[in-house]
Every structure is written in C-alpha cells, then in structure tokens.
Structure 1
C-alpha cells in the first residue's frame, strides 16, 4: 500500500507536467558498484534532514558557561565567543538585562590588563581581522530609533555608542561588523566552523566595576530583547529562532550552558513574558514556603510603571519588593526556630546553623503565571557567610527592595 501511494503521487505530478516537459539528467550520489558504508548513508540523510528542518525550527548554537552565582567566589557567569577572521576567543559576561555584545578594543585606555578569574584577557584589534569593518554613521542601525543604546557620530564617521548599566558602570566605543564563529547543531547533525556577520561593540572606555581586575572579563554578551542583541541578529538571518536557554548549575563548581535555539524538552512549563517591556519580565504571582502560600498581595509584583518581575543574569542576587521580602523572611525564621539562631550580619538576615541546612530549612517555590513554578532548595536561597563558635553562618541571598521592581539574578 505504501508503494502504491507513492506511485499515485508520482503519476499525478506527471499528468500536471505533460504540457511542458523538461528533461533533467540525474546522476548517482554513490557509484553503482562501489561499496558504501552504512554510516555514510546515515550522515548524508541527517545532513539533508537538518536542511529540511532548518526552515521550520532553526538551528541550535551551544556556548559553555563558566562562573558561579556565589558572590564570594565569582558572582558572575561568563562564556567564550569567537570573533574575527581568523577567529579569536574572548571571555564575556552573560547579561540578559542588556542588548549589545561588546569586547574590549585594542585602543581602550585604562582598561583592566589582568583578571582575578584565572583567565587571559584579550583585546579586539580591527586591523588584525580581514573581515572587520566599521559601521558608518549613515547606516540605519546607527539611528537612535533603532535601539535603546545611545549612539552618536564620531569625527571619523564611525557609529559610536555609550551605555550605562544598573550598577553605575559604563562603557563606550564604536560599532564593528565582523564574523561570529560557532558550532551549530541542525537536527541530529553538528555543523562545525559555522559563522555569521554580526554587529558588536568595540569598547574604548570603561568605568565603575568594569575596571576592577578581580572579576574582569573581555566584555559583556547582551541577550536582551533589542534588535542588536546577538539572539535577535541571528534570528533575523534565519540561523536560530528568537529563543535561548540559560541553564546554570547550582553546585559549588558552578558553570552551565547557554543555548541559542529551541530545546525540545517535554517537562518544560512555559510562562509568558510581559509584553512591551525592555527586559525579560515575568508575572510572579506568589511565593510558598514549605508548601504554604505566603500572604502577599499579587499586585506588589506589578507596578503601574514597570510590570512584572525581571529575570536578569547580570544581577547576582535576587531582589524582592519589601511587601514580599518581609513575609518571606518571617516565614523562614518561624520554620527553622528554635533549631537555629537568627542574627543580623551587615544588614542581612542570617542564621547560625550547627547542622545541615537541607535538614532544617524549608523548600521554597516561586510561582509564575500559567502554572510555572521554580522550586528552590535551601542551598538555592542561602549563602554561606562564615563560621562562628562551631556553627556556620548562612544568610538569605534575597535582598529587600523598597519600591521599584523585583529582580531574579543568576
């Protein structure tokens, strides 16, 4: 029956094309009498299937992640990107709260020369890349209407940028168009040495925490919602869908993976993004401690000026508005008393614990719209702060925000 259906389809196509017949010679992909290994056929089929599926779901690009959320060790996550021709590696911090990818330029003044992260810092030199070109002021992307980063025209007709982050640090420089090299995965096939032209920043000036050598990296990898973020640029070229995953390991060794493209995982539960927001805002609806919902008015997570809760990998800790933070701390303290001794250390709510925190502290869940919940173990919301009189001091990693908006960091 399967063969009959195929013949009927072919016959139907033949009838339609009788009026104008075009003869196209066909050649064998493999010799008729030659020996062909099965894995050769499988590899050829997989490559074909990946091309067929590319237009439907796009590819996947993997970036390995280093670093940890522990502020006493690293306090940031970073990955490697390959830029230029020939490609050079740069260590860049992952930041979902900003848009552009930028790396330190060879002409940068007073920029860090070394890093406390045990990595070798690099400088991007446009003259050393055969594919690099400057973005002129006449380019449409240099228009302030195109993106939120402030732009201006330099005396040399280069499209320049200036950007300030939430912690007060900042960077300025000029835009470059050059190759981003990566290994793409299409279906079950890996396509090595893939590349795409992207726009990124070449930083000639940095200020604030960006100049500190203890956590210095080569730049910042912005994954925001703007048109100049790498995820948006690759999506506009049909290389990956406009989706990415940021998976972070919670143990002491840290690390994780950044994936550009769709991941097929049946256990994923989706929560919609708040529309018309410059960042990745989710609707946090409630918090539960040990399975009990806290008495928090859901409206405190949605203000009139900036709705929702921001997810920002560039922020290390979590920040809750006061109306949510106070009930959270009260519930934690009530659950663990009198097994531990509550104390305040440098303005933070801490506890002196003589046993394992996993045996004493309760699980916590952050509940979002559409039934998505983030389950937190004690080690996920507590930070070890030191040792005192035979006990370990653990502090709540959530910080209080008076007014403003809640932010979930790395």
Structure 2
C-alpha cells in the first residue's frame, strides 16, 4: 500500500500506524490529518477512493478526496449552536420553546437548549420513524420531533440522540438565524476556517466524494475482531429496544451514496469532509489556524468540553460522557487526553480537539465497520499521535 502525503519531524509514528491500518486492520481507503498549535503536522492518504473498487484499476484516493463522516457531523452542528450563543443570539439556558414554540408539546415545555446538545432532551426515537424521503425534508423532521413525547423527563437522564439530533439542532439554527443549517455552516464555519466540510454537498464538489460501504474486520488471532458485551449485543438485536429505535428513527437506512441524500443537510449523520477539513475545523475551535481564523473564544471552548452528561447511556447502553454536543474522553470514546472533546462517526470517522496539547485530529474512511464510538483504526492513529507528542 502506497501512503501519500507528509508528516512533520517527530510524527513519523503516525505514518507507520496509518500504513498498518491497511495491512492489518482492513482499511480500504482513508486519510488522516493532524494540526498542532494551528499548523498542519500530518496530512496522509492512501488506498482506493471507493470501497467497492476492484484492486486492479481502482480510482485512487487523492489529496482532497472527501467522505461521509456520519455522526462526526454532530461536532459541526454543535459548533453552530455554540457560536450563536457566543454571539449573543442564542441562550443555552433558555427553554427550547422560546425559539421554537411547537417544541413545547407533549411535556417538553421545560426542555433547555443545552439539554439538546447534551443528549438529555428525552427524544432519541420517534413513535413513527421517518422514511428516507421524509427525513430529507427539514420541515417534516422538525415537526415530528416537536410532536414527539419524551421517553424520559427532559433533563433527568441522558441517551444518545443518534438521528433526532439532526432536527433538534437544525431547526434551532433555522429559527434563530432564518437560514438552513447547511448554508449557515458553509458561511460561518467552513468558509472562515478554510475547511473542506459540507452539510449538504454542493453539486460542484460531488466528484470529490468517494463511495462508502461496509467492510468486515480481518480475522486475527490477536483479538482485533472482538465481541460486544452481552448487554450491548442484546440491545442492538432487539428491534423494540430504545437503542434500535433511536438508530432507526429513519427507516430504512438511507443510501449514503445517493446524490440526493448527500445534497441534503442532516447534521446528525450526513456531513461530508476531508480528513484535513475535519482536523482544520477542530483546530479553528481552539486556536488560530495558520495565524488566521479562530472560531471559539476560550470561554466557549470550556463550555463545549464541560461535562454535562455522564454514566450509563439509555441508548448506547455503555457509560458515556458528553459536553455540549461533544463526546468527552472516556472508556466508550477514547480521545487524546482528559481535555479532549470531539465526535466519532459510527463505523470509522473521528474528529476532535485537545486544548492541552494544541492537537486537532481528523480521520475519514470509506469502509464502515460495526463499531459505534471507538473504531480500532482511528484509535491506532490516536495512540500514534500520543506517542509522537510524548517523545
């Protein structure tokens, strides 16, 4: 496997780990980028652009190839709400209904904006799942969530809002700004940060995005193919469990290679980014990038990564930790250090920032696996970064 790109002196272990992902962990096509103190120190890519390409004559992954990042999109959506708060346009402690009156229905009138971001709103599932076509209509999605009765009293517990996070965050941005979240992110986040990421892939950029698919981890005597804990396996096997219902809020699962799906804005699940764009986005949250843009003030960084939810997750079953829209470093989602905040994408992608070390990280892949929060390929790269900065 040819690994393309460059690493700064001292970050050679990241290149080695990236190559091993193809050799031993079954990666098909992928890229990783790392910034430190606002400057790029890792920019690597390799493999095939499309997971279903034959080995011979496959379209190669190029610098600038983008991929869908699934729930890693949630970190971008969270940044939109936090920036609106930073600008004084959105009060995180206010009731959601102050901005979105219809949301007060069915016992949700006391739900606070911050509780949406911390997965405490109590609406991770819908009584009637949306079809893929319905899900792409932001009005229908918002109406469904607004009418939904909560599973638990909002604010009293937490559980991952896997799909409904799209309409919770997207509708708030629309109500506050009058713009769709895709356009707002393009103008206020991706553009100023110079980051190649999109919530709603423009037709002009469609050729850059490769096809995605599923891959199975290789059988390996060292235990690379591990079994989930019994409680987790049972939750995903039971179609009536809250776990299954949360992930099935859109049923059936949309075709992630469909141009119409990619052109829509579902901020829980369908962002498309390059690894460099994802890392640059996180770098811009914690400092100036290349001497230029910084998006978050230090106070907003502390808001983002301050723990708001911790313990057994009603949806993911395992213990999770959340700040305001971001997963925090922990057993379920290991990041770089206790100061890290970011978000994985189910099956592979990962983006995060670590204020203590000045590191910002982005990994994207076209081969999704069953892992939800701690993909072994991304984790191997994180460990390599840890080793590089420790040395």
TM superposition score category, shorter chain reference: under 0.3
Higher strand share: 1
**If the length of structure 2 is used for normalisation, what is the TM-score?**
0.22
| Higher CA-based Rg | 1
**If the length of structure 1 is used for normalisation, what is the TM-score?**
0.22
Higher helix share: 2
Question: Larger RCO: Structure 1 or Structure 2 (Cα < 8 Å, ≥ 6 residues apart)?
Answer: 2
